Amino acid sequence: MLGLTDENLFFEEEWLETIEEEGFRTNLIHVKLSYIPRYCRKCGIKNEGQISKNGSHKTKAQLLPYRATKTELRLVRTRFYCKECQSTFFAQTNLVDENCYLSKELKVQIALELAKNATRKEIANHYFASSMTVLRVLHRNKTNCIEKE
């Protein structure tokens, strides 16, 4: 239904919750993100038993609106500990860039709306984002296009 295809996402029994947040009706999708890492993201060593699970961390990611309702993914990410370099890192998903709140798919849709010459405020209202967020997407895409030339 939502196109969440990452095989490392595990949906909780009560996975969907609808709340009123900041004056908007919001769908919250509760999932756990976990897997066995192949290597340490900090030192690069291949995992041969020296990387272990070490707790979790809650994050959220905004998805495309579903039926004109703001939709957020509430992620419980597994934290890993590398005994080789004594560092920790979190499980990652291909749905969201690292240290980013917006899903990749949402950023693509905002960029497509910008191409249609809609105003930043209209786009922000449609996708439940700020106009500054829309501007950041514009600048990131502009930078990416210049680097490709």
DSSP string, the chain: ------TTEEEEEEEEEEEEETTEEEEEEEEEE----SB-TTT--B-SS-EEEEEEEEEEEEEEEETTEEEEEEEEEEEEEETTTTEEEE---TTB-TT-SBBHHHHHHHHHHHHTT--HHHHHHHTT--HHHHHHHHHHHHHHHHHH-
Angstrom distance (rounded) from CA 70 to CA 88 = 32
Q: Which two tokens stand for residue 22?
A: 């900041």
Per-residue pLDDT, 5 = 81
Q: Sketch the domain layout of the chain as residue ranges.
A: 1-100, 102-149
Confidence of residue 6 (pLDDT cuts 50, 70, 90): confident
pTM, rounded to two decimals: 0.83
In which band, very low, low, confident or very high, does the pLDDT at 125 lie, cut at 50, 70 and 90? very high
Scanning the structure block, which residue is given the tokens 């105003």?
A: 119
Q: What share of the chain in percent tops pLDDT 70?
A: 93
When pLDDT is averaged across residues 116-133 and rounded to a whole number, the result is 92
What local confidence, expressed as pLDDT, does residue 149 receive? Answer: 47
Q: 4 to each of 15, 58, 66, 119, 120, how far by Cα in Å?
A: 13, 18, 13, 29, 27
The model's pLDDT over 58-92, given as tens digits with 9 standing for 90+, comes to 999 999 999 899 999 999 999 999 999 999 999 99
Q: Does position 35 have pLDDT exceeding 90, yes or no?
A: yes
